[in-house]
Amino acid sequence: MSGSPPSSSGSEEEDEGMDSYRKGGYHAVRIGDSFAAGRYIAQKKLGWGQFSTVWLAYDTQSSKYVALKIQKSAPQFAQAALHEIEILSAIAAGDTSNNKSVVRLIDHFKHVGPNGQHLCMVLEFLGDSLLRLIKYNRYKGLESRRVKEICKCILTALDYLHRELRIIHTDLKPENILLSSTINPSKDPIRSGLTPILEKPEGNPNGGVIVSSIEKRLKQRAKRAVARISERRSSMGDGVGMIPKPARCLDGIDFQCKVVDFGNACWGDRPIAEEIQTRQYRAPEVILNSGYSFAADMWSFACTAFELATGEMMFAPKTGQGFSEDEDHLAMMMELLGKIPRKIATGGARSKDYFDRYGDLKRIRRLKYGSLERLLIDKYKFSDADARELAGFLCPLLDFEPEKRPTAQQCLQHPWLDAGSETTDEVKSESSIEKANAGMNNLQIKHN
């Protein structure tokens, strides 16, 4: 999804429906509609979420394409937009050279429509999300150098947010990180040489939104029905003679990216909600309600990096017979990372819901302990060296004690990030030397 859609954006196969186009809800936009006294002209819809819709717009003042985010008009949505504008304004003010890998707020204004007054944000136009990239790559892991390139961008953004601005993103995930341009050049208005629409196309001036929405939904239902029939046929054939799809060619894609969607972000000294983060990227301290800070973003970053490297989520918990999704999530964490220290397991406001006084889970008693390194080797077929190096980068970020997780600034200095440009032998050699040096330093520290 292009531009900067909200974190709660719907799936690409669904539409937001017409029910919320009413007083207090979405503003109905038609192609060619103008905003801010004619400065911005709507070109096409990019995405939607529970709070807003996002449109590609043409900025007649700068002659550039932008992403126009139009908030629902009810007071609670307007309040949320004001908070996001405050955060985005601080980000833009501190990043005058626009090189911190964070989406840039260009403008904001109010727009009055039939459903009320809508707060609007104008953001720089960006490309597809990392979620779309993962799907495009058929849920196979990206090659290591690509993962490192993306990780550097995300860490640059987090270092800026955490250290310089004292902002916690609180919802870091592949969906909220956008590539600088679209995967398919023909869908990029700049690279495709799209001629901007500067006036409303001829035709029905009133029913355009509704008709196009109904048509789109019917087409999507038909598409899903065909896909289900295809799946049934292939399962009936038991996969005999089925040829797996080859890996996609990713040449030509710009892997530079930016962190977006600050609707749930907060200042480090002013947390705004107890429960933050999308389920699969949620840190243990958030589940246990033991307080959170910048380290919660670092946990989400590690989950995102793993997903880029493997094509699959690190944790995808489910509700089971006799246990909750939260408890399954905690069990998965421990199976991969080891037992949660007792003081952490029992130290949160919700700890008693999941743990006994000894720090053992109440309802999931049998755990199969493993390690991140073994998982990368056994399931994802990483080489021993690659698995060891990636696990060495990620495991400190997945420490159950938030205070022990490295900061984004420290991660940017990690040798794993700089190991992509050399040959494999050079990397292994350098890695061995660094490990030896680290070992010597540890010995010196212990003796002192």
Single out the residue of 322, 327, 333 nearest to residue 356, CA to CA: 327
Alpha-helix residue ranges (DSSP H) falling in 317-423: 325-337, 342-345, 351-354, 372-378, 384-394, 408-412
Bridge partner list, 59: 40, 64
47 close to 29: Cβ distance less than 8 angstroms = no
Output b/e per residue, 220-246; b: 16+ Cβ within 10 A.
eeeeeeeeeeeeeeeeeeeeeeeeeee
Rg (CA), the chain: 24
**Cβ neighbour number for residue 110 with a 10 Å cutoff:** 13
Among residues 33, 159, 171, 328, which one is catalytic? 171
User: DSSP code of 98?
Assistant: S
Cα-Cα-Cα-Cα dihedral sign, residues 411, 412, 415, 421: positive
Q: State both tokens at 124.
A: 């720089």
Bridge partner list, 266: 168
Which residue ranges make up the annotated binding site for ATP? 69
User: DSSP code of 164?
Assistant: I
Confirm whether 171 is a catalytic residue. Answer: yes
Single out the residue of 309, 278, 303 nearest to residue 405, CA to CA: 303
Tokens 């550097």 correspond to 152
* Rounded Cα gap, residues 270 and 191, in angstroms: 41
CA torsion, points 76, 77, 82, 83, in degrees to nearest 10? 80
Bridge partner list, 52: 71
* Rounded Cα gap, residues 397 and 366, in angstroms: 26
**Cβ neighbour number for residue 422 with a 10 Å cutoff:** 12
H/E element, 224: helix 208-236
Q: Mind telling me the catalytic residues?
A: 171
